[in-house]
Every structure is written in structure tokens, then in C-alpha cells.
């Protein structure tokens, strides 16, 4: 026996309990911005964990040369970035439902700074979906029909530009 008919008017709890027009919920644009901040924090978390692992390994193994000035500088910067990441993540998780547009703008600014500090160059390219900047040069791609398998060389010995 079916209690509800699967129509466009039934199928969610909102049909039974509609949203209060005077509620202080987030609008879709703000919610999307918060979700983007949250996703960015997940992306940064990978780099933070890798940095923590390197710091831990450098404390145990002298071959990491953690006493060198350049490495000490990197470690200080990594620890500051990691602390900023954890503080921002905690703030976002606590205030996720009750947040102002000004707070979201500050979070976005902090996330951009953390992304710049923590991600590698390839991660930044992938994160920004900027792979299109490197177009494929079809003239330089190896093609099997251009190869002479008996002599082990190219059939047409011309320079590809």
C-alpha cells in the first residue's frame, strides 16, 4: 500500500513542513560560498598533513637537515600556515549556519592565502582548473605510423617545431 503518490507535489519533507518565510536561513549564494570555503579547506588539509609528516620525520631523522637555516625557515612558515588552517577550519565549522557576508569574505581571503602558501604548483593548477593553459602540441606527439620499426628511427627525418 502506498501512502503518498509520487508527484511533483509530494516527495520531500518540505511538502509537510514548509520553510518559514521569516527564518534566518542562508540564501543559496552564501551557502555556495561557504561550501566552496569548506571544499578548499579539505584541499588544503592534504598539504597540511603532508607538512606535519615532514616536520615529524625531520625531528627523528638528521638526514632531513632540519637544522639548516633554509629548512628552519620553511618549518616556521609551515607551522604558522598549519595553525592558521586549524583556526580557520574551527571557525568555519562553528559558525557555518550563523554567518555574515563579511565573515565569508574574510574566510575566502584566508583560504586564498592558505592555498597560496600550502599547495604545490601542480596542485594550484589542478585546483584552479588551469590545465587549459597548456595546449597539446599535436605536431610533437609520437605517432606509430611515423616510426620505422625495422631501423628503429623516424621514417621522415624532419625537425618538428
In a domain, 122, yes or no: yes
The single-letter DSSP state of residue 147 is E
Residue 39, strand partner residues: none
In a domain, 112, yes or no: yes
Instruction: Using a cut of 0.85, tell me whether the model's pTM lies above it.
Output: no
Domain count across the chain: 1
List strand residue ranges (DSSP E) for the chain, in order: 147-148, 153-154
In a domain, 82, yes or no: yes
| pLDDT tens figures, 8-28 | 454 555 455 554 444 445 688
Start-to-end CA distance of the chain, whole Å, equals: 72
Question: CB under 8 Å to 57, separation ≥6 — which residues?
Answer: 64
| pLDDT tens figures, 94-136 | 887 788 889 999 999 999 999 888 877 777 777 666 666 666 6
The CB-side HSE value for 110 (13 A sphere, CA atoms) comes to 22
Query: For residue 55, what are the domain limits?
Result: 27-129
Amino acid at each position: 500500500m502506498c501512502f503518498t503518490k509520487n508527484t511533483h507535489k509530494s516527495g520531500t519533507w518540505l511538502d509537510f513542513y514548509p520553510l518559514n518565510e521569516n527564518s534566518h536561513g542562508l540564501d543559496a549564494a552564501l551557502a555556495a560560498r561557504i561550501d566552496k570555503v569548506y571544499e578548499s579547506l579539505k584541499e588544503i588539509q592534504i598539504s597540511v598533513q603532508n607538512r606535519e609528516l615532514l616536520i615529524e620525520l625531520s625531528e627523528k631523522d638528521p638526514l632531513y637537515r632540519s637544522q639548516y637555516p633554509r629548512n628552519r625557515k620553511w618549518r616556521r612558515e609551515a607551522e604558522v600556515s598549519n595553525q592558521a588552517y586549524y583556526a580557520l577550519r574551527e571557525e568555519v565549522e562553528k559558525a557555518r549556519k550563523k554567518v555574515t557576508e563579511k565573515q565569508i569574505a574574510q574566510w575566502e581571503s584566508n583560504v586564498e592565502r592558505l592555498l597560496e602558501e600550502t599547495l604545490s604548483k601542480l596542485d594550484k593548477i589542478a585546483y584552479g582548473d588551469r590545465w587549459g593553459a597548456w595546449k597539446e602540441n599535436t605536431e610533437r606527439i609520437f605517432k606509430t605510423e611515423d616510426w620505422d620499426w625495422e631501423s628503429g628511427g623516424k621514417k621522415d627525418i624532419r625537425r618538428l617545431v
